[in-house]
Structure 1
């Protein structure tokens, strides 16, 4: 009985130590996720994405109507291409990543597709169908890239939830301002060229932050 008691005492202590260590690690995992540069680079990238997406979604029918003389009803249907092809991007990007296409290449291709919309609507608005399709695929695919990086780099489910919450909270807060900002710039400038350049700026911010995030991941891997 004495031997059994001696055997059990260290085991209980070891369990307490392990539990305490586990709690310490779990406690550190959450704030560590928020201190990592990759979290905030992804948040900035997602903010650029969300700003551009909501701004374009709100104003694209009006831009097409004013820029091409398209009937308001037809311009609303035309703008639906941007939304429709987002589903294509949401499927195509995970397939590309599963086939080991480098994520930095996928991210760069997404950025190039996205920027065709504001640039194209300024320089060649008659080809709106091409620009809406390319940007639609890009905006759908970018979600997959950002949250794939979150899943791969967080280190634990709890940290992944924390990272995801930070990225989405910051991103959607910025995105919510997109329609109002674009409307204000349009009212101030009297046209759509300046607002579309604002969208271009948000997309370039998205692209640069994403590339820096992926470089950070590669350096720490």
Structure 2
């Protein structure tokens, strides 16, 4: 169970960590080119994300970030129920697994390909509570308000939508409560929809372990408030 539990936690940690690279505290006048301030942009995004009941995102990596997850496609409800697939690096190999987290049970496909196995949800919640991600007081909306020195750098397209690109840093002490083992501040970019202020994309730098090269994790959001229904796999 530990081989799948760790990657699921890593996915949720990535989500929180990258969102944390996007809040605002110091006013940023004079962006130029008609761009809104980073503080204003991220305050609006926090408000837009605070009411979400569900979210979907894809995961991709650049370089060699110090995480087990190399890719994935995840759908998540505010309750903490989730469903998706993950590409996991294990012993130098990348394998794919499907999982469904419903109620008190997580269902996952093992490396043997022999169908789904199951384990208690408590084994995940004891290390990381997925319901925190969309909790207005603990997750995305909360962390969008606490990062330092936000700066709107550009207006770009993400998935065909106009978005503001904002760079900022989230303090370690803020993110550490949701990301076990975090030892440094997190710096990165987020892209916020110019139309409705929702997060469209995040890119966060992941510090190296043991002197290795740093990498990055990119999350792209494609669905908001969809009426997901997750059921235990047959």
Per the shorter chain, which TM-score range? 0.3 to 0.5
| Max Rg structure | 1
- Could you say which structure has the higher strand fraction? 2
TM-score by length of 2: 0.34
Higher helix share: 1
